[in-house]
Chain A
Amino acid sequence: MHSRLFAIVRKEAREVLRDPIYLGLAIVVPVLVMSLLALGFVLDVKNLPVAFYDQDRSPLSREYMYSFTNSEYFRLVRMAGNASELDALIASGEARAAVIVPPDFSRRLTRGQPASVQVLVDGTFPSRALIASGYIAAIDAQFSARLVTAWLERRGMVTSVLQPVTVDGRVWFNPSLETKNSLVPGLLVISLMFYPSLLAALVVVREKERGTIFNLYCSPVSRWEVIVGKAVPYVGLAFFVYFLLFGLSVFVFDVRFVGNPFVLTVAALLYIVASIGLGLVISVFTTTEAAAMLVTFVALMTPSILFSGLMTPISSMEPSAQAISRLIPASYFMAMVRGVFLKGLGFRQYASDLLTLAGFALVVFTIATLRFRKRAG
C-alpha cells in the first residue's frame, strides 16, 4: 500500500522536476513579487497634495497655511484664486484636499471670535479621505489650542502649562512604524495561500484535460493515495518557497523578527497543507485548467486579501465580515505571523490557532478525497 503512495509521489515529483521552466517560475515568481511589493508598497499617507484659497491674505492666515505645509503630511500644490479652481483641482485629482480661508479669518480670531474654515476632501478613495481629514482635524485643533492659549495670555491669565491634556502616542511591536514591518509578513501569508493552492488546483484537472486521469481510474490505487500522493511534492515545493520568503523578509528586507522561528515554521507547514488541500478541492470540482485557475483567483485569493486582516484589522470589521474571516485559514496564519514576527508570541498563545489550521487541513483533504471519484463522467 505504501509503495503505491510513494509511486504516486515519485511520479508527481518527477513531473514537476522535468518541467524546469515551471519549477523555476514556481520558485522565482513568489520571490520576485514579494521583493517588488516590499520595495514599492508604501502605505503611509504623506505628502498629500493640498490646495488653498486664501481670501484673507493676512499674516495669521499664512501662519495657518504653514502649519499644513510644515508638516510632512501635506504638500502645497497651488494657491487658488477662486473656489471653482479648487473644485477643478479636486476633480482632476491634482489636489486631494483643499482649504478655504474666509475673508474675515484674522479679524474674527484676533477679536476672540471663532472663525470658520472650509475643508474639502476628495472622497473617491475613502481610506485616504479619512486619513486626510484626520490630519487636518489634528492641525486645526492644535492651531485653535495655540490661539486660545495666546488669547488667554493676552487677557491677563497666566497659562503656566501650554496644553492641559497631551497625548503621548506609543507604537508597540513596530516602534519606527515602518510599513514593511506590517506589510512583508502579510505578503508572506498571501503568497503562501496563493501559490501553493494555484499549483495544486491544476494537478487533478490537468490529468482530466489530457485524459491521463484514466490511467489512475483503472489503476489499483485508492482515492486517498491519489490525493495525498499528488499533494506531497507540492507541499515540499511550497515549504521550500516558504523558507526562501522567510529568509528574504528577515535577512534582506530586515523586517523586525523577535519570535521563535520554529513556531512559525510549524504554523507555515500546517497552513501550506491547508492551502494545497484547498487547491486540490478546486481541482477535483472543475473540468478545465482555465476554470480551476479562475476559481483560485476569485474564490481564494480575493477573500484572503480582503478578510485576512492584511489591510484592515479584523477587529475593525463588522460582525458579518468577522465571521467570514474566521472561515479563512489566512486570517489565523496572519495573526500568527504578525504575532511571531513582531510581538514575539509563541506556542502558548497560538495553540488553538494551530489546532484550527490542522483541523482545516484535515477537512479540505477529506472533501477532496471524497469528491475524487474513480469514475468517468
Chain B
Amino acid sequence: MTRRLLGLIRKEFAQISRDVPLGFILVWAFTAAIYSAGRGRATETTDVATAVYDLSRTPSSREFLSHLQRPYFKTVAYLDREADVTRWLDRGKAAIVVVIPPDFERAVDGSGQAHVQVLTDGALAMPATVSIAYIAAISSRYSIDVLQRRNARAGGEVAAAAPTLDERLRVTFNPNMLSAWFASLLELLNMCTMVSLLLTAANLVREKERGTIEQLLVSPARPVEIFLAKIIPTVILVLALSGVSFTLVLKPVFHLPIRGNLVLFYAVTALYAFAMTSMGIAIALVARTIAQAIMMMILILQPMIFLSGAWNPPEAMSPWMRWISLLSPLRYYIDFAFGVILKGNGARVLAWDIAGIAALGVLLFAFSLLWFERSLRTSG
C-alpha cells in the first residue's frame, strides 16, 4: 500500500512541478504577496489624514493643534476657505477636518468655553470613530491645563500638581503596534487556506473533466490511496511554503518574533491543511467543471476569510454570526496561530482552538473519504 501511495504522491508532485505558472504563483503567494500585505497596512487606523481649518490663528489654537500628532494623526493640509473643507472631505484627501472657532483664544484665556468641531468622513467608519475618541482625550487634557492657568490667574495658589490620572500604557505582544506583524502573518494563514482548498479541488476536478480518474480507478490503487494521494501533496506543499515564508519574509523582513513552539505551529498547520484539503475534495465531488468548483469555493472562502475574527473582533459579531463562525476552521486556526507565534502560548492555553480544528478536520476528512469512495464506486 505504501509503495502505491508513494507512487501516486510522486505523480501529483510531478504534475504540479511541470506547471510553471502555477509554481511561480505559489511561490509568489507565499513571498511577495505576504510582503506586500505586511507593507500595505490594510488594517491601520493610525495616520488619519487630518486637515486643519484654523479660524482663530492664535498661539492658543496652534498650541491645541500641536497635540494632533503621529501615530494617530497626520496633518495633511491647513485650509483657508470653508469651501476647501467640503472639497477635502469629498475627495477623500482628508479623513477628518478639525475646525478651530474664531473665538478660541478669547474663550480659553477668558472664562468661556470653546467648541472645537471635528468633521469626519463617515464613508470611513472606523477612522471616524477612533479619531473622535483621540481628539476628545486631547481636549480634556488641554482643558486641564487651561483650568490650572485660570486658577493661577484668579490668584489661587499655583499648585505643583493636580489630581490627574497618569496613564501608563503597555501594549503586550506587539509593543509598537506594528501592523506589519499582524498583516503578514494573517496573509500567510489566508494563503494556507486558499492554496489547500483551491489546489486540491482543482486537481481532482481536472481528473474528472479529463476522465483520467477512470484510469486511476482501474489501477490497483484503492480509493483510500487515491484520496490520500490527492491531499497529502498539498499538505506537504503548504507546510514547505509556510517554511519558505517564515525564512524569507516574516523573520528577515518584518522581524516577526516567534515566541511559541514552531513544531506545534507546523503540526497544527498540517492538521488544518488536512481539514481544508478534505473540504476541497468534497467540493470537487459536487462540481463538474473547474469553473463550477471555483464558484462553490468562493461561497465558502470569502465569508470564512472575512468572518475569521481577524478583520472584526468576534465580540462585535452578531450572536448568530458567532455561531456560524464556530463552523469555520479558519477561525480557530487564526486564534491558534497568533496565540502560538505572537503570544507564545502553549498547547494548554490553545487546547480549545486545537480541538476545534481537529474536530472539524476529522469530520471533513471522514465525510469526504466516504463520499469519495462511494462516488468512485458508482461512477466506476
Contacts and interface: CB of A to CB of B under 8 A. Distances in A.
Contacts of B78: none
B154 interface: yes
A276 to B, nearest CB: 15
Interface in A1-54: 19, 21-22, 25-26, 29, 32-33, 36-37, 39-49
Interface string A43-72: 111111100000000000000000000000
A19 B289 contact: yes
Contacts of A252: none
Interface residues of B, number: 138
A291 B21 contact: yes
A173 B298 contact: no
B312 A43 contact: yes
A287 B20 contact: yes
B236 interface: no
Nearest to B37: A306
Interface residues of A, number: 141
A35 to B, nearest CB: 10
B143 A182 contact: no
A126 B174 CA distance: 8
A171 B130 CA distance: 12
Contacts of A315: 49, 76, 92-95
B52 to A, nearest CB: 14
Given A36-B303, A148-B144, A290-B199, A316 B167 contact: no
A92 to B, nearest CB: 5
B137 A33 contact: no
A305 to B, nearest CB: 7
B4 interface: no
Contacts of A131: 45, 126, 129-130, 133
Interface stretch (A154-162, A217-225, A354-362, A364-372): A154-162
Identify the interface centre among B141, B178, B349: most chain A CB within 10 Å of its CB. Answer: B141
Contact of A286 (B21, B135, B183, B290): B21
Interface string A275-300: 00000000001111111011101110
Interface string B87-130: 00111111100000000000110011111111111111111111
A117 interface: yes
Contacts of B13: none
B220 interface: no
Nearest to A96: B313
A58 B310 CA distance: 38
A169 interface: yes
B294 A143 contact: no
B152 to A, nearest CB: 10
B187 interface: yes
Q: Which DSSP category, helix, strand, loop or mixed, fits chain A's interface?
A: helix
Interface string B129-157: 11011111111111110111011001010
A119 B167 contact: yes
Contacts of A345: 90
Nearest to A338: B123
Interface of A: 19, 21-22, 25-26, 29, 32-33, 36-37, 39-49, 75, 87, 90-93, 96, 108-131, 133-138, 140-145, 147-149, 151-152, 155-157, 159-161, 163-175, 177-179, 181-183, 185, 194-195, 198-199, 202, 206, 209-210, 285-291, 293-295, 297-299, 302-303, 305-307, 309-318, 320-321, 324, 335, 338-339, 342-343, 345, 349
19 contacts: A36-B303, A108-B163, A111-B163, A119-B168, A123-B173, A127-B126, A129-B174, A131-B133, A145-B140, A148-B162, A151-B162, A165-B108, A169-B136, A174-B125, A291-B21, A302-B36, A306-B37, A309-B124, A316-B46
Given A91-B349, A112-B163, A123-B174, 10 more contacts: A44-B125, A114-B164, A114-B165, A124-B342, A125-B338, A151-B162, A155-B151, A172-B119, A289-B206, A339-B90
Interface of B: 19-22, 25-26, 28-29, 33, 36-37, 39-49, 64, 72, 74, 76, 89-95, 107-108, 111-130, 132-144, 146-148, 150-151, 154, 156, 159, 161-175, 177-179, 181-183, 187, 191, 194-195, 198-199, 202-203, 206, 209, 288-292, 294-296, 298-299, 302-303, 306-307, 310-313, 315-318, 321, 324, 335, 338-339, 342-343, 345, 349
